[in-house]
Amino acid sequence: MRTITTLCLTVAGSMAVSVAGLLAIRAVVPPAYLLPSNEICGGYLQTIGTIYAVLLAFVVFVVWTQANDVRRLIERQADELADVLRITKAFKGSAASSVLVAARAYAREVADKEWPLLTTGQSSRKAQELLEQTWKALTAIELGTAREEVLFSEAVSRFSEFGDARADLLHCGRVRIPVLLWLLLLSGAAGTVGSMYMFGAEQFWPVAAMTASLAGAVSFMLFLIRDLDNPFQGDWQVSPALILAAADPTDIQE
């Protein structure tokens, strides 16, 4: 998995850079010069570390919730589409068949063309046109009995829910962490890890181990935030398989 490989390289690289930075500081500033300020630095690190930990936890919660919302919207869209097609099969005539054909074309367009566009916050115009074709085919169904009128009313209601789920999904596909918040996260990471450089200790490796551990943990969290911020790309991306299965159970793309 490329994501896991990239994660390991990112964490290892951040740990190496943090230790290299500590070595550079120690070459310029002797540990004995920093010893008197250890108590002050400890209080400072505790304060800034707590603030940054709360910020990280908040951002992780937000992006994790957003990723779960995307998955729920895909499931909702697939469920509503499946219900529309299931009800449509109860009608007779070519119009009912046209609904199924248009829905399958829509699902294939979403999986093949729109899904890659969602990684950049865009959508497929053709998918929207195929959605409109599905709606027109549905409204073209001729009703002959009271039973068919009830079924048609339910199909229209389900299609409306399906369209709302699609609109919400497209909105989620455009939402990203603002640049200013990324600047805050990165500057906070540098400040928190850099605080370890102000500690004076006769032995280098204990401080180096703590610095590397802190840098690794922070970089892991930042990588997780970056990956979850866009649920349409990476090894953990959401899949359009449910939408394909709803339109045609024999046409499923993993």
Q: Is the pLDDT of residue 183 over 90?
A: yes
For residue range 87-99, what is the model confidence (pLDDT) as tens digits?
A: 998 887 787 889 9
252 inside domain: no
Decide: 170 and 188 in contact? Cβ < 8 Å. Answer: no
d(CA 11, CA 223): 9
The token pair that represents 38 in the structure block: 């250890």
Average pLDDT over residues 175-200: 92
pLDDT at residue 184, rounded to an integer: 95
d(CA 172, CA 221): 22
Q: What does pLDDT average to over the chain?
A: 89
Q: Look up tokens 């550079």; give the residue.
A: 24
Q: Look up tokens 């599905």; give the residue.
A: 134
Average pLDDT over residues 155-176: 92
Contacts of residue 131, Cβ cutoff 8 Å, sequence gap at least 6: 106, 163, 166
Mean pLDDT is highest, among 27-31, 36-40, 184-188, 224-228, for: 184-188
Q: Look up tokens 């970056």; give the residue.
A: 226
39 inside domain: yes
243 inside domain: yes
pLDDT at residue 249, rounded to an integer: 66
For residue range 68-118, what is the model confidence (pLDDT) as tens digits?
A: 999 999 999 999 999 999 999 888 778 788 999 999 999 999 999 999 999
pLDDT at residue 252, rounded to an integer: 41
pLDDT at residue 2, rounded to an integer: 64
Number of structural domains the chain divides into: 1
Reported as half-sphere exposure (CB side, CA atoms, 13 A), residue 44 has a value of: 14
226 inside domain: yes
Share of the chain above pLDDT 90, in %: 62
209 inside domain: yes
253 inside domain: no
Question: For 9, phi and psi rounded to 5 degrees?
Answer: -65, -40
Residue-range definition of the domain harbouring residue 62: 2-247
Between 223 and 199, where is the model more confident? Answer: 223
pLDDT at residue 250, rounded to an integer: 54
For residue range 11-52, what is the model confidence (pLDDT) as tens digits?
A: 999 999 999 999 998 888 888 888 888 888 888 888 999 999
Q: Is the pLDDT of residue 179 over 60?
A: yes
Average pLDDT over residues 139-162: 90
- Of 213, 157, 169, nearest to 67 (Cα)? 169
Q: Is the pLDDT of residue 186 over 50?
A: yes
Contacts of residue 61, Cβ cutoff 8 Å, sequence gap at least 6: none
254 inside domain: no
pLDDT at residue 253, rounded to an integer: 42
pLDDT at residue 254, rounded to an integer: 39
Q: Write down the pTM of the prediction.
A: 0.81
The token pair that represents 85 in the structure block: 């097609």
